Structure 1
Amino acid sequence: MNTKYIDLINQTFDFPQEEFKVDKGQLHFHDIDLMQLTKQYGAPLKFTYLPQISNNINKAKMWFENAMQKHNYKGNYNYCYCTKSSHFKHVLDEALKNNIHIETSSAFDIDIVERLKEAGKITDETFVISNGFKRAQYVTNIARLINNGHKNAIPIIDNYEEIDLLSQEIKGKFNVGIRIASEEEPKFEFYTSRLGIGYKNIVPFYKNQIANNKKVELKMLHFFINTGIRDNAYYWNELLKCLKVYTNLKKICPTLNSLNIGGGFPIKNSLAFEFDYEYMIDEIINQIQLTCDEEEVDVPNIFTEFGSFTVGESGGAIYEVLYQKQQNDREKWNMINSSFITTLPDTWAINKRFILLPINRWQDSYERILLGGLTCDSDDYYNSEQHMNAIYMPKYNKEKPLYIGFFNTGAYQETIGGFGGLQHCLIPSPKHILINRDAEGNLTTEVFSEQQKSEDLLKILGYGTNQNTSKPVEELVEEINTK
């Protein structure tokens, strides 16, 4: 009988997969023995596998290069990383190994750019694409970057006043882009994005504020839709509308030479995930080429802004199942030793799915369960896995600890969860490990941050420090054992 957990996975999915395999009943992720990692560092635990960042960047660059060669496309391709997906230094350091560019969204992003320049990670040749609604400090910081010689900084105009605001602080000429306010998918509560300038208003805006302005040159048209790059009628319709605006603008604006198609590449969220990246890129390049040929204008250089695609698949989280609660005849709750609201906030806020798999006990029989977090909030649970809204895990056995992992969690979770700050019910942020490979390909690990302690949270709350402050559980256990 096929009653083991590994049997369930093998008969449900194509398994093993590129990043996942099982050895002696334990899960390996990119050849990382996750049970060994858990024994070494404990759980709950977050980790970042840095090489996957470079892997995804280079995959995308290869796909665009192949598509451009196939269609004899004359423009260049520039890969930008959206820093808002993860601002951490170790993420930027890894991404910038691959000759990429930066997209920013707020004032403090420019401070990060300047730190990266000081460290030699980027140069004046690196494109810095600045999106978002620009408040005074953001304008000031962009102006400082440009005034200090970063000529490849391109602020993307989001509203009608930004040209004047930037002109007041930038010395000499500067380049800009214009963001299109795309129409949202029909199921949205509103029709048009709050970001950018409407399709029909872009050419008049250029004529009124840029065409005769000797200080400003328009270089880029920026196109992004909230649902991301998908193979559906909505995406292709919006792209063709964008290309119509581009060709009309190009005919009256010779300096326009770049089209930013934004980001939104999906990442793997289940073992059944399928997305033909190569086809989508090939067809995007083909549509741009066909439209420009038809309108007899030069094809633009292509920019993309990939955030989740860059960093998402590098991250993971490991928890221990502490206890099982049988609440009625049908519902068994496996309680984890952390909180979904605090450590994977997207599961709570937008019902986002991540790959969920046990770390150990793959050779044991399985059962249907629900997963609950430690907070006293009724929404602190996870049940939206790929198995028809049910979760199957090896059967709970208090004598055999079960560890579970969530994968491809590397984008947004730390910043949305408020890394280093207060967490719901004062549940501490877990230890975070960086995993890399040395020149010989051997795995290396280092602790990026320890699990929060009570004094960290009390200090934020204004209680200061106190000798009676509770100690970490590990220290208390050690004291008891020594006594």
Structure 2
Amino acid sequence: MDKYTDLIHQTFDFPTEEFTVENNELLFNGIPLMDIIKKYGTPLKLTYLPKISSQIQRAKRLFKEGMEKLDYQGTYTYCYCTKASHFSFVMEEALKNDIHIETSSGYDMQIVRSLYKKGKINKNTFIVCNGFKRERYRQWISELINEGFVNCMPILDHLGEIEYYKEHVKEKTKVGIRLASDEEPKFEFYTSRLGVRYNDVIDLYEQQIKSDERFELKMLHYFINTGIKDTSYYWSELSRFVHKYVEVKKVCPELDTIDIGGGFPIKTSIQADYDYKYMTEEILRTIKRICNEGGVPEPNIFTEFGIFTVGESAANIYSVLDEKLQNDKELWYMIDGSFITNLPDAWALNQRWPLLAINHWDKEYRKIQLGGMTCDSQDYYNSEMHSFQVFLPKTPKQQPLYIGFFHTGAYQEQLSGYGGIKHCLIPSPQHILVDRDENGEIKTWQFAPEQSSESMMRILGYEV
């Protein structure tokens, strides 16, 4: 009999640092998942808070070691990209690691205020304010600056944005300019809709910033949607960006920082082959070389990692409710959740995550399709990143199978509308937080129960 455990060990170098098996049951970062399931039931979302801190420290270490190796003269600053996950427990865990914040919405400013009131940040924390800004966002940025948040830095996204700050900001202010990067060749558009055209940057500085003593251009920013990848497209865009920094630095002496955005990937399979050390060093080497050739000092570097910070901290866990053989060869496992509503990137972007059985590792495996609870034909999952199919254990009747989708910590609640109305009124699952105490003992608590029918009825305008 071909057991599920044999399949995994033959396919991957298993166990890994985060995935191990004891008594035919899966552990995630040392957490016995069956204990969580027995205590809370399914479906559930699980967030392991220490993983957030370990990811931040990993990136800081990579840049520190790379800068020391290459004798890079600038500094490195880690920002967390709030839009990846706005939850308070994510923000507070991340901020334990001496980091800063990148925002994209006016409502982020209210999160900033809440964190300040709780003492999680101070008025020296960098608040890198990105995005195309409606008046409310610009208003709240201006208020923070006027209240003494000295490193609240609006990143100008279009030529007219500075006019609002000229009218409303009273304190000396650092500003940045986002450059509009070219999209990858296969994209539908040639140039990003976000940011200022390369040819307009110097004019924007000289005509609207230079002459006003309140404003100091400190940062150039860019971002590439495809992330930090070892491709000719990535290196070409990075080089073009740094060349522009050199050009602007020569007319704007106070400019001393670049923000290279986010883009460090996470594992979408049990094992990944991304070389973080190589990519970090090559980024630093490229920036240093171009600046040296241009005769300007290397800039300070900001990153704003979102998915990398929070993605690998979480898992979605489901029960297999039943199986259905729909023709001679298509066997379906029906789960107590939905891909469209709980993991929308699986449906919208064909995103893949590490998928593993949580129990029954000693049972025979078979090829299956996974079906969600909605009535939509698109609510399915039938391929993994390493293969165009899914294999899971065959289980006897009356012995439930539990499965986990891992590294689901970024964007899924934001995209699916946490606590709102979802397709077929599928509720948001309960959310369980996992941490360790000072002795390393596991502690768990429920952040939120499964969404209730009463909350849905109120949203929809029905009497409860």
What TM-score, normalized to structure 1?
0.95
State the one-letter code of the partner of 1:225: I
Whole-angstrom distance in 2 between the partners of 1:135 and 1:416? 21
Q: Is the 1:323–1:398 contact (alpha carbons within 8 Å) kept by the matching residues of 2?
A: no
Report the alpha carbon displacement of residue 359 of structure 1 after superposing the two structures with TM.
0.4
State the partner residue of 1:426. 425
Report the alpha carbon displacement of residue 298 of structure 1 after superposing the two structures with TM.
1.1
State the one-letter code of the partner of 1:369: I
Whole-angstrom distance in 1 between the partners of 2:411 and 2:29? 22
State the partner residue of 2:392. 393
Whole-angstrom distance in 2 between the partners of 1:460 and 1:218? 45
RMSD: 0.9
State the partner residue of 2:251. 252
Report the alpha carbon displacement of residue 46 of structure 1 after superposing the two structures with TM.
0.7
Q: Equivalent residues in 2 for 1:45-444 (5 A)?
A: 45-444=44-443
Whole-angstrom distance in 2 between the partners of 1:159 and 1:397? 61
State the one-letter code of the partner of 1:312: G
Report the alpha carbon displacement of residue 396 of structure 1 after superposing the two structures with TM.
4.1
Report the alpha carbon displacement of residue 294 of structure 1 after superposing the two structures with TM.
1.1
Whole-angstrom distance in 1 between the partners of 2:83 and 2:353? 19
Distance 1:387 1:58, change over 3 A: closer
State the one-letter code of the partner of 1:9: I
Report the alpha carbon displacement of residue 387 of structure 1 after superposing the two structures with TM.
4.5
State the partner residue of 1:4. 3
Whole-angstrom distance in 2 between the partners of 1:233 and 1:200? 23
3-state DSSP class of the match of 1:124? coil
3-state DSSP class of the match of 1:47? strand
Whole-angstrom distance in 2 between the partners of 1:133 and 1:320? 42
Whole-angstrom distance in 2 between the partners of 1:410 and 1:204? 41
State the one-letter code of the partner of 2:409: G
Q: Structure 1 segments of 4 or more deviating over 6 A?
A: none
Whole-angstrom distance in 1 between the partners of 2:408 and 2:276? 20
Whole-angstrom distance in 2 between the partners of 1:172 and 1:429? 44
Q: Deviations over 1:224-269 (max 9, x none)?
A: 1110110110000000000110000001101101010000111010
Q: Greater CA deviation, 271-280 or 408-417?
A: 271-280
Report the alpha carbon displacement of residue 205 of structure 1 after superposing the two structures with TM.
2.0
State the partner residue of 1:455. 454
Q: Deviations over 1:2-46 (max 9, x none)?
A: x00010011111111110011111000011000111011001011
Whole-angstrom distance in 1 between the partners of 2:271 and 2:56? 22
Report the alpha carbon displacement of residue 215 of structure 1 after superposing the two structures with TM.
2.4
Whole-angstrom distance in 2 between the partners of 1:241 and 1:200? 12
Q: Deviations over 1:188-219 (max 9, x none)?
A: 00000000012222122222222222221100
State the partner residue of 2:21. 22
Q: Is the 1:229–1:263 contact (alpha carbons within 8 Å) kept by the matching residues of 2?
A: yes
Whole-angstrom distance in 1 between the partners of 2:172 and 2:140? 16
Report the alpha carbon displacement of residue 320 of structure 1 after superposing the two structures with TM.
0.3
Q: Is the 1:324–1:396 contact (alpha carbons within 8 Å) kept by the matching residues of 2?
A: no
Report the alpha carbon displacement of residue 443 of structure 1 after superposing the two structures with TM.
0.5
3-state DSSP class of the match of 2:250? helix
Whole-angstrom distance in 1 between the partners of 2:388 and 2:168? 54
3-state DSSP class of the match of 1:252? coil
3-state DSSP class of the match of 1:129? strand
3-state DSSP class of the match of 2:171? coil
Report the alpha carbon displacement of residue 383 of structure 1 after superposing the two structures with TM.
1.5
Corresponding pairs, count = 464
Whole-angstrom distance in 1 between the partners of 2:140 and 2:120? 19
Whole-angstrom distance in 1 between the partners of 2:275 and 2:144? 38
Report the alpha carbon displacement of residue 185 of structure 1 after superposing the two structures with TM.
0.3
Q: Deviations over 1:47-78 (max 9, x none)?
A: 10000000000000000000111111111110
Whole-angstrom distance in 1 between the partners of 2:294 and 2:454? 65
Q: Which runs of 5+ in 1 are unaligned?
A: 466-483
Q: Deviations over 1:300-343 (max 9, x none)?
A: 11000000000000010100000111011110110001111111
Q: Greater CA deviation, 205-214 or 292-301?
A: 205-214
Whole-angstrom distance in 2 between the partners of 1:184 and 1:442? 47
